[in-house]
Chain A
């Protein structure tokens, strides 16, 4: 019995499998858009609740993956609007990626020693820089870049997930990358 069929008959095991398979990509999409771990976790939770409720209406017209991503993006976008409106100015997450300007004023983060402290610091620095740059992009460019370059979705999958044409995917990706390239100029040139 396929996973979708098992989900549709209300199998808790199947739902658990689904959560284990998709929680990481969904969490990462939410995190890259919202830039806040706890908000991203809430968005993931809400996404899976909607999946749980709506799986009976899933007709297989699109792939399960794109259907889940579609829900995740809608939920994240809703949360982002709410977040922007109410909470961003009053709450500060300890796990939130920090800007370089703020970094000096915060407590020192102890990196995981496994890959070596310098490499870890560099990775963290890169990640923070990428996240900062992503945060400056508008939602429509950001989501296309995240889905393509971080989540590795194909152009067709992105088009299906966002319900836009292939041409729109290409142009948004082009403009998003162009903006990112300018913002991450040092990193891009340093890697060459």
Chain B
């Protein structure tokens, strides 16, 4: 066996990582070659030197530190897991839930504005109602001399009329809920409603629509014949 070949195997020989045949060949060569034998002993010494290095003892509190850290991280891990579960749950349900809430809110707002139309302060005639749906409002309740309502209307017995107002603000029809039903009274009321009074029509989202309003007609005997109307 050549020296070069032996030197290549020397490391494994020191570690006894060769098969018995190779071990025997290297051993044979070392007995006859002093240079290779010197190298072998140096390697062996180095191995012994490395093996003699004392093992370092870790700090005494290391296990305790690790246990504390592990429990801390375990807690964090549990929190993270819970958080990610919530996140996953929300990811799945967030869109439908949000849509549901938004739709409910929208419906609620629309229905609410339908039921409660809000208060018109009537600050000015030119006011534009801000509520989504408004009811008809009496614009003019002028009563001319041709109407003879004072015979039928009094403070004691007001006439209560349900009127249907068209989009042009004119009354289309009416129904007497309480009051005189005789022909003369109806003629006077016809005269009054169809020719004398005018209304601001009801509106929906700013557009005029037909609507109804209940009026209570009370007659106050003054110098001018005056009809007071309560809507």
Counting contact residues on chain A (CB < 8 A from B), the size range is 35 or more
Comparing A41-49, A58-66, A79-87, A98-106, the segment that makes contact with chain B is A41-49
**Distance in Å: Cβ of A189 to nearest Cβ of chain B:** 8
Contact of A181 among B15, B46, B55, B63 (CB under 8 A): B46
Contact of A130 among B45, B53, B55, B65 (CB under 8 A): B53
What residues of B have a CB within 8 angstroms of the CB of A20 in the complex? 63
What residues of A have a CB within 8 angstroms of the CB of B46 in the complex? 149, 177, 180-181, 184, 188
B45 touches A48 (CB 8 A): no
Contact of B11 among A126, A152, A170 (CB under 8 A): A170
What residues of B have a CB within 8 angstroms of the CB of A189 in the complex? 42, 45
Cα separation A37 to B59 with both chains bound (whole Å): 8
Which residue, of B12, B42, B58, has the highest number of chain A Cβ atoms within 10 A? B58
Contact of A149 among B12, B17, B51, B56 (CB under 8 A): B51
Binary B-proximity of A177-192 (CB < 8 A = 1, otherwise 0): 1001100100111011
**Distance in Å: Cβ of B14 to nearest Cβ of chain A:** 9
B17 touches A37 (CB 8 A): no
What residues of B have a CB within 8 angstroms of the CB of A130 in the complex? 49-50, 53
Q: Tell me which residues from 26 to 62 in chain A have a Cβ below 8 Å from any Cβ of chain B.
A: 27-28, 31, 37, 40-41, 44-45, 48-49, 52-53
B11 touches A188 (CB 8 A): no
| CB of A72 within 8 Å of the partner chain | no
Q: Tell me which residues from 139 to 154 in chain B have a Cβ below 8 Å from any Cβ of chain A.
A: none
| CB of B197 within 8 Å of the partner chain | no
Q: Tell me which residues from 157 to 184 in chain A have a Cβ below 8 Å from any Cβ of chain B.
A: 170, 173-174, 177, 180-181, 184
Cα separation A191 to B49 with both chains bound (whole Å): 8
| CB of A23 within 8 Å of the partner chain | yes
Say what secondary structure dominates the interface of chain A.
helix
**Distance in Å: Cβ of A127 to nearest Cβ of chain B:** 5
B62 touches A23 (CB 8 A): yes
B17 touches A155 (CB 8 A): yes
Q: Tell me which residues from 58 to 76 in chain B have a Cβ below 8 Å from any Cβ of chain A.
A: 58-59, 62-63, 65-67, 69-70, 73-74
What residues of A have a CB within 8 angstroms of the CB of B67 in the complex? 12, 16, 19
What residues of A have a CB within 8 angstroms of the CB of B41 in the complex? 192
What residues of B have a CB within 8 angstroms of the CB of A53 in the complex? 73, 77
Binary A-proximity of B94-126 (CB < 8 A = 1, otherwise 0): 000000000000000000000000000000000
| CB of A148 within 8 Å of the partner chain | yes
What residues of B have a CB within 8 angstroms of the CB of A49 in the complex? 66, 69-70, 73
| CB of A71 within 8 Å of the partner chain | no
| CB of B52 within 8 Å of the partner chain | yes
| CB of A145 within 8 Å of the partner chain | yes
| CB of B48 within 8 Å of the partner chain | yes
What residues of B have a CB within 8 angstroms of the CB of A40 in the complex? 56, 58
What residues of B have a CB within 8 angstroms of the CB of A12 in the complex? 67
7 pairs, A vs B, C-beta closer than 8 Å: A24-B55, A31-B56, A45-B66, A52-B70, A126-B49, A130-B49, A188-B46
